[in-house]
Amino acid sequence: MLQTAFRSQYTIPSSPTPPAFPTYATQTASITQEETCSTVGPCTAKVVPSGIAWPPGVPGSTAAIAQDLVVASSSAAFTPCDLPTKETTAFDGWDIVNGMWKQTISDSYGDNFSGYSVREQDAGGGVDTCWWPSSQYNPWTTVTGGEWPVQDGNTWGDDTVGWGTTYLEYYRSKGKAPCEATLHQQMQFNCTADNSWHNYGPVNTLQSSFTNSTVTSVRAGGTAMRRY
């Protein structure tokens, strides 16, 4: 939970000369007051008056007040579930021409996420260099929206990244090789407490490319290639 600190500084002006200043344990011309707001959500600043009588009851002794609001955060995000904060990916073999990738999720507390679910959402900006206007297939520029259960050890998968033999052979027959599709994937975690999906981790780059003799699969910085 984030806190918001409000600081009010009372300053005695140098001119005109104020009446005799009261004596404190530490003689000072400035008093600082700290206050905190610990509620979740927006915090409201305390209203500070434009001036005070100093010392109290002495005519003509009004001192100016300089207001200094130091805001650490105006609100704090609240999620009823612990979310994974890190995901590692490892190559897990080939499904003919499609690379298969297995992921492990974690957080700094070592939480167990098995039994929950994750899914992918398209993050936009996909590019398909194999497609052309007369192609019998639509361009491949978005993820398919897969969903996976989290297994023991906080692993999930496989996330399959590849063209598949039908598309591969079609584009090769049309002389399009070498070409590739690049997609962007945002992973989400299902919080059962609020029955909502929450983003976790950075946006992943997925890529599938081929030449006339090889295929390549890429996920989140990992790369695998084979002859086919």
- DSSP strands (E only) in the chain: 4-11, 30-37, 51-53, 62-68, 86-95, 98-106, 117-122, 127-128, 147-149, 155-161, 179-191, 196-199, 204-210, 214-219, 222-227
Q: CB under 8 Å to 211, separation ≥6 — which residues?
A: 177, 178
Measured CA to CA, the distance from residue 68 to residue 200 in angstroms comes to: 36
Measured CA to CA, the distance from residue 100 to residue 161 in angstroms comes to: 6
Residue 213: pLDDT over 50 = yes
**pLDDT tens-digit readout, 25-55:** 544 444 444 444 444 444 444 444 444 444 4
Measured CA to CA, the distance from residue 93 to residue 115 in angstroms comes to: 24
**pLDDT tens-digit readout, 58-111:** 444 444 433 333 334 444 456 788 999 999 999 999 999 999 999 999 999 999
Q: Which token pair is 33?
A: 């007051």
| 149 within 8 A of 117, measured Cβ to Cβ | yes
Q: Which token pair is 130?
A: 């194999």
Q: What CA–CA distances, in Å, run from 22 to 28, 58, 63, 199?
A: 10, 13, 14, 57
* Among 22, 18, 31, CA closest to 59: 18
CATH top class, domain 86-227? mainly beta
**pLDDT score for 110:** 95
Q: Is the pTM of this model over 0.75?
A: no
**pLDDT tens-digit readout, 10-19:** 444 555 555 5
Measured CA to CA, the distance from residue 165 to residue 17 in angstroms comes to: 89
Percent of the chain that is helix, strand, coil (3-state, to 5): 5, 45, 50
Domains of the chain, by residue range, sit at: 4-68, 86-227
